[in-house]
Structure 1
Amino acid sequence: MTYATQEVMEGHDHFRAAMVALSYPGRRIPVEDASRTHRNRTGRQILRALYDDETPVTTVAADGTTTGATPEEARVLVVNGSTSHGVLSRIPRGTEEYPERGATVIYLVAGLPDAAHLHLTGPGVDGDLEVRLPLALDDVMARNAACREKPTGVDLLLAGDGWVTGLPRTTSVQQVD
């Protein structure tokens, strides 16, 4: 298999994993990475599979600095770590007429501990589900605020090394005490 063919096949695998993750919230969906030499490669591959080079992307570094598009213009927010440092509250949520204009947030969380203990309900969740995810509780609250007025909101993808988990805007997320 040529390098180009391998890249295309990996793109398909990462696209499918992201879609499955959003269809089954809270579950870790495995995705094969041919090269595990780069930390957070899964998240970068998902970004490449879902969006083209003209998509406005804002990146939040671990220290909270942002690069790329302004958060208010971003269609994608890439977060290096488990917290967006408040940037999540500034990204588009869509409108009632155009809910698909809500941004997607991709957290690059390879190697981070599962800090948030959450209770999920909604479409794609069989009854209810308790999960632990590498996500800051401030971001859980900001996500819930962004998704409060249906059908608007934001979709979250958490990408570790070789796995992805989705929290679509339709999922109810509550902190477990």
Structure 2
Amino acid sequence: MLAAPVPSEFESRCNATFDALMWALSRPGMSRDLHDTGQAQIVDALIDRECAIYCDTPERTQHAARSGAAPVSKDAAEYLFLENPVTPDLLPRLRQGSDLHPEEGATVVLNATLGIGQDLRLTGPGVDGSIDIRVAGLPDGFWRTRAQVMRYPMGFEIFLVDGARILGVPRSTVVEVL
């Protein structure tokens, strides 16, 4: 008889969060429910000691440090956890990878409000035609600046966190402001 390890409650939550993140990236514009509110669960699911991270709050930095991840500047970070409002000038400074290694682009986790605010139309892989969404909490010019700096296959992924919901915007998604 074979014995299979039973995951702990923490491991199960991390796996569920990781599944939600991957689902959100594979279906841009469609939000996915998380088991809890906030960005801490995303840190737990994604970050380990091999990651270079930037967090804009001391609490999140301390939380991420438990994984052994190296805190770095925004420009050098593989993962950015931004709980405070951002400015569009951040986007050109993010890691975008290279033609040879596009996977070295950053993953950015931002707080936003889904369902109200600016009207956006998303198209690209994972979207059946197009999908319209509404997002509040990001600065004016955010999506325009993103469009100007992205050069697919290089770029960065964005996760928008609204309480216990997450929405993914991969680098391959075109975002049109309506």
TM, length-normalised to structure 1: 0.80
State the shift of 1:88 in Å. Answer: 2.4
State the shift of 1:84 in Å. Answer: 4.1
Q: Which residue number corresponds to residue 55 of structure 2?
A: 59
Q: Flag the 1:116–1:83 CA change in 2: closer, same or farther, 3 A.
A: farther
Q: 2:131 and 2:140 mapped to 1: Cα distance? A: 17
User: Can you list the C-alpha shifts for 1:10-52, whole angstroms capped at 9, x where unaligned?
Assistant: 100100000000000011111222xx5xxx2xx2211221121
Which AA in structure 2 matches 1:101?
A: E
State the shift of 1:161 in Å. Answer: 1.6
Task: Identify the range of structure 1 (96-105 vs 72-81) with the bigger mean alpha-carbon deviation.
Answer: 72-81
Q: 1:59 and 1:137 mapped to 2: Cα distance? A: 22
Structure possessing the higher radius of gyration over alpha carbons = 2
RMSD value, Cα? 2.1
Which AA in structure 2 matches 1:21?
A: A
User: Can you list the C-alpha shifts for 1:123-149, whole angstroms capped at 9, x where unaligned?
Assistant: 0111111100233333222322232x2
Q: Which residue number corresponds to residue 19 of structure 2?
A: 16
Q: Secondary structure at the match of 2:74?
A: coil
Show structure 2 runs of 5+ residues with no match: 1-6, 58-70
Q: Which residue number corresponds to residue 158 of structure 1?
A: 160
Q: Which residue number corresponds to residue 107 of structure 1?
A: 110
Give the paired residue count. Answer: 158
Q: 1:9 and 1:18 mapped to 2: Cα distance? A: 14
Q: Flag the 1:153–1:143 CA change in 2: closer, same or farther, 3 A.
A: same
Show structure 1 runs of 5+ residues with no match: 62-67
1:72-151 residue pairs with structure 2 within 5 A?
A: 72-84=75-87, 86-109=89-112, 114-134=116-136, 135-147=138-150, 149-151=151-153
Give 2:40's match in structure 1, choosing from 37, 44, 59: 44
Identity of aligned residues (%): 30
